[in-house]
A and B are shown apart, each in its own frame.
Chain A
Amino acid sequence: MSTCTLIPDWCRISEEATHSIEDYGRGVPRWCLGCGDHAILAAVQRYCRDEQLPLEKTVFVSGIGCSSRFPHYMETYGFHGIHGRPFPIAEGIKMVRPDLNVFVSTGDGDCCSIGTAHWIHAIRYNMDMTVLLHDNEIYGLTKKQASPTSPAGLKTNTTPRGSRLNPLNPLSATLGVANVSFVAQAVDWIPDLLHDIIRMASLHKGFSFIRVLQRCPAYLPTEFEAQTRNPERVLLLKHQDGLTLPPEIAQTYRNQEEHDPGDIHRAREIASASDPIPVGILYHNPAVPCYEDSVDRDRIDTAETTHAFLEQEMDKFTIWPTSSEARRA
């Protein structure tokens, strides 16, 4: 095993190669038939192929849940963490390795319940990563318990007579946090827009938050049924700085709004509406600084420079054997 010297920014130029969509996939996903996660995976792999993201320079991080199995199905680096904590793991990665493309897959329980503190602070850190909130409005993996995004009245195993609380709105919550820089909503049943939104999110430098409404046929088979059948119940957001709609889609989904992603007030209004479901870029502000950029990356630190500093630092605590040396220190 030979050791190569460390290049300060850890960059390695990957060899020119053309990756197909299949190259980005690993194994056979274990999700249920018809699960919206399949569509999200397909859209992500398609985006990776389009951008030819280097496999070794890309990391998918997740928590725990059906959706958090995501990294296992990508032939990139992956980190399948613990429930609710994908954000701090991804932050640690990005801080040490800003050269990596970092994606986070998280569920509505993972992000909006157990991981809420991390989610709110991740928005504020605004580190450059793309976040997919797989929002199926239910706990899938643990078999149908209410999630914070479950609609009021939803019958689940923990709310057999109907959920007693109004749902939390992840878009409104995100738009309310300091340093928010990119918020979008997609639905698993319009894969082309899902793909385009993922692309725009990835191009944004900062914390790009995409809530994907994801169907869970196993536990909520009818949850988005009406919306998938009736295009009128989807509102497409378009703008020259946001999504440009492919003609076929524009034809099917006639309910459209010209929305400037720079307009946070309108974004908040749109976020609060759920019928029709808004799809597109709600908010984009490229000017918010990223936490990882607050670190000086230009310096070169070696064992020698560190030890020179250590000697200098120890001088501050040192009593020298003679007092003339003390004066010198």
Chain B
Amino acid sequence: MGYGVWTVEIIPAEIQPPARSVAGASGNRIRFASNPVTNGGDAADLAVALNEQVLLERLGELKPGCMILLEDKWRTDPNPSIAAQYRKTYDELTESGFRLVEVPMEAECRKLVSDPRRGKNMFVLGLLCGIYAFDLQVAREQIAFIFATKPQAVIDANINLLEAGYAWTRANLEMRVNIPATKPTLPQLVLNGNSAIGLGIVASGMKACAMYPITPATSASHYLSEIFEQVGGFVHQAEDEIAACCFAIGASYAGGCAVTITSGPGYSLKQEAIGLAVMAEIPLVVVNVQRGGPSTGQPTKVEQGDLLATVFGCHGDAPKVVMAAASIEDCFYSMITARKIAETFNTVVVVLTDASIASAQTTIPRPQSDPAWHAPPLDQNPVAPGALRYDWDSETGLARRVIPGQPGGMHCVTGLAHDRRSRVAYDPRNNEEGLRNRSRKLITLQQTLRTPAVFGEESGDMLIVGWGSTKGAIEEAVRRVRAEGARVGALHLRFIQPMPPGIGEIIRRFKRVLVVENNWSDPVDGAGVTEDNRRFSNLAWLLRARYLVDADCWSEVMGQPIKPSTVVRIIRERLS
């Protein structure tokens, strides 16, 4: 319709939480605007609630005094305690300033369908179309499109509900908000981060994915399972994450390039196998859709707590590439890049995303297919006599890739220290040579990376540094504080290991550096917190260590995406 949009699913951890339970609330947050939207934004201007209880947990996410459209059927519920609960909550919310509008959703729907529970969403869509003056014809077309495989009666029933909702708004509500649409000139995709990963895997030409179900990563594998076979791909649901990682390594070793998709706890389990792939120099792409940790943590919630575990995770020195998708669009392209790097450098590439982009939907420009996305076929020619498996190039650290089936290339890869022929070798010189070359590969890659652009001021009072899913919120906040005159810029890192060149130089152009991320850090003014014992947020540790900069950090672990208004508040506080 020409709007920028960002939707966030609100998913309770339970499959069937008790009805009307506060914690079991599920729903959808929708933010839309004339221009592209890069994050879920701040407090909501309007809420629609199918019962009053679901509001209680989320009042903080609503603008004070905003309008709430509330299903009114509970007022007359045959169960007196439910009716009483409803009235009480209704009165309290009204007292605290919200504009409650009771809507007879159930009653209106019942006029049109026998089971209103199944059609209420269309009625609500109609309500919203009325408020935002959306073109009903577009909505009708969409309904027909979505239910294209269903009988005409179903389409008609849904359209009737839509129109009823629209009519109700027109007859009963004065509120009208007009947000002008910008008609896009190029095709857009509407998708979430996990689907973008699935599509990206197909685009990259990878043909094998091994996984074990874990929230919030699983939906990427669901989607991939749905489509992968149509391009000759295969999703293996392994018996656990260790097996999934080893299966992927075996598949890559044999000449495929495989991906394994997981989330925090599963990522922890994969560590030893990741070290093996690094040591034996086998390409491997690992996707970690982060969730709240440690341990089982908060499975459905947002957190960026795995950065240090990813960079340093394995025992010993296991240099691997760590990328972070900064947007839903990035989820797509990062799969192509990750495969390229994994195969060029014969190593492990971990791509971090998190729950906030995994299930959020937005519009992205439709990618233009490029044959270069696909890796060229592997060299399967006979290997020359005397050729070494690890013919490490002293400048780049790179070695050849030999796959089974290549005559003359027979060797035994091993996770033990080895020499250039891949023979077990414990002598100090050999060991050091292997470590040096595996590390050198990251230097080689680093030299090919571009310095990321700074958003906002190129130099000034404060540089905000972030990584991964917070990009949209941070940049929106920087835009707002700059409008107030603050001299603030933002730097967002997609490559975390190796870090692109030029970061130190950017950092030095600002008086202060503030790292903003969604993980734990001791608050600077916390009780007993001193310079000696403060635990910094993940990226802040890395920046402090690498650039010897007194980078400050602000982070939160609310299980939700960081809001732009929060970042604005923090910047103001730290600047004053």
Our verdict on whether A and B bind, yes or no, reads: yes
Chain B residues whose C-beta falls within 8 Å of the C-beta of A61 in the assembled complex = 250
Contact A319–B187 (Cβ < 8 Å): yes
Chain A residues whose C-beta falls within 8 Å of the C-beta of B246 in the assembled complex = 81-82, 85, 88-89, 92, 118
Chain B residues whose C-beta falls within 8 Å of the C-beta of A55 in the assembled complex = 407, 410
| Contact A321:B184 (CB < 8 A) given known A72-B414, A310-B203 | yes
Contact B138–A323 (Cβ < 8 Å): yes
Instruction: Judge if A5 is at the interface, Cβ distance under 8 Å.
Output: yes
Chain B residues whose C-beta falls within 8 Å of the C-beta of A107 in the assembled complex = none
Contact A56–B250 (Cβ < 8 Å): no
Chain A 290-329 near chain B by CB (<8 Å), digits 1 or 0: 0000011001010111110111011001111101001100
Instruction: Judge if A212 is at the interface, Cβ distance under 8 Å.
Output: no
Of B113-121, B230-238, B534-542, the one touching chain A: B230-238
Contact A306–B141 (Cβ < 8 Å): no
Instruction: Judge if B503 is at the interface, Cβ distance under 8 Å.
Output: no
Chain B residues whose C-beta falls within 8 Å of the C-beta of A118 in the assembled complex = 239, 242-243, 246
A121 to chain B, nearest CB (A): 4
Of B171-179, B254-262, B505-513, the one touching chain A: B254-262
B217 to chain A, nearest CB (A): 19
B225 to chain A, nearest CB (A): 13
Chain A residues whose C-beta falls within 8 Å of the C-beta of B243 in the assembled complex = 85, 87-88, 117-118, 121
Contact A78–B247 (Cβ < 8 Å): no
B49 to chain A, nearest CB (A): 29
CA distance A81 to B247 in the complex (A): 11
Q: Please give me the residue from chain A that is nearest to B402 by CB atom.
A: A77
| Contact A318:B187 (CB < 8 A) given known A88-B238, A93-B251, A299-B232 | yes
B402 to chain A, nearest CB (A): 9
CA distance A186 to B376 in the complex (A): 46
Q: Please give me the residue from chain A that is nearest to B188 by CB atom.
A: A319
Chain B residues whose C-beta falls within 8 Å of the C-beta of A314 in the assembled complex = 189, 199, 366-367
Chain B residues whose C-beta falls within 8 Å of the C-beta of A26 in the assembled complex = 412
Chain A residues whose C-beta falls within 8 Å of the C-beta of B248 in the assembled complex = 92
Choose one: A72, A303, A307; the contact of B423 (CB below 8 Å): A72
CA distance A320 to B229 in the complex (A): 27
Contact A96–B208 (Cβ < 8 Å): yes
Choose one: B190, B254, B366, B415; the contact of A93 (CB below 8 Å): B254
Contact B230–A92 (Cβ < 8 Å): no
Chain A residues whose C-beta falls within 8 Å of the C-beta of B186 in the assembled complex = 321
Choose one: B208, B273, B381, B412; the contact of A2 (CB below 8 Å): B381
Of A6-14, A161-169, A171-179, A241-249, the one touching chain B: A6-14
A residues 69-93 near B (Cβ < 8 Å) are 71-72, 74-82, 85, 87-93
Q: Please give me the residue from chain A that is nearest to B375 by CB atom.
A: A303
Chain B residues whose C-beta falls within 8 Å of the C-beta of A313 in the assembled complex = 199, 202, 227
B residues 199-227 near A (Cβ < 8 Å) are 199, 202-203, 205, 207-208, 210, 227
Instruction: Judge if B77 is at the interface, Cβ distance under 8 Å.
Output: no
- How many residues of A are in contact with the other chain, CB < 8 A? 70
Instruction: Judge if A95 is at the interface, Cβ distance under 8 Å.
Output: yes
Instruction: Judge if B149 is at the interface, Cβ distance under 8 Å.
Output: no
CA distance A99 to B405 in the complex (A): 9
B residues 375-395 near A (Cβ < 8 Å) are 376-381
Chain B residues whose C-beta falls within 8 Å of the C-beta of A75 in the assembled complex = 410
Chain A residues whose C-beta falls within 8 Å of the C-beta of B42 in the assembled complex = none
| Contact A117:B247 (CB < 8 A) given known A10-B255, A72-B414, A317-B189 | no
Instruction: Judge if A201 is at the interface, Cβ distance under 8 Å.
Output: no
B157 to chain A, nearest CB (A): 21
Chain B 182-201 near chain A by CB (<8 Å), digits 1 or 0: 01111111110001000100
Choose one: A92, A100, A323, A326; the contact of B258 (CB below 8 Å): A92
Q: Please give me the residue from chain B that is nearest to A306 by CB atom.
A: B231
Contact B379–A1 (Cβ < 8 Å): yes
| Contact A82:B251 (CB < 8 A) given known A56-B408, A56-B409, A319-B184 | no
CA distance A117 to B247 in the complex (A): 14
Q: Please give me the residue from chain B that is nearest to A10 by CB atom.
A: B405
CA distance A144 to B1 in the complex (A): 71
A316 to chain B, nearest CB (A): 9
CA distance A2 to B243 in the complex (A): 35
Q: Chain B CB within 10 Å — which of A57, A81, A311 has the most?
A: A81
Instruction: Judge if A275 is at the interface, Cβ distance under 8 Å.
Output: no
Chain A residues whose C-beta falls within 8 Å of the C-beta of B415 in the assembled complex = 64, 80-82
Contact B208–A97 (Cβ < 8 Å): no
Instruction: Judge if B501 is at the interface, Cβ distance under 8 Å.
Output: no
Q: Please give me the residue from chain A that is nearest to B370 by CB atom.
A: A307
CA distance A64 to B246 in the complex (A): 14
Choose one: B205, B207, B232, B242; the contact of A88 (CB below 8 Å): B242
Contact B379–A4 (Cβ < 8 Å): yes
By Cβ-Cβ distance, the 5 closest A-B pairs, closest first, are A92-B250, A78-B412, A301-B232, A88-B246, A92-B251
14 contacts between A and B (CB under 8 A): A56-B409, A61-B250, A79-B250, A79-B253, A82-B415, A87-B243, A92-B252, A95-B250, A96-B258, A301-B232, A314-B366, A318-B366, A319-B184, A323-B141
Q: Known pairs A92-B251, A100-B254; list 11 more (Cβ under 8 Å).
A: A85-B242, A88-B243, A91-B236, A91-B250, A92-B210, A92-B236, A121-B238, A306-B231, A307-B371, A310-B231, A319-B363
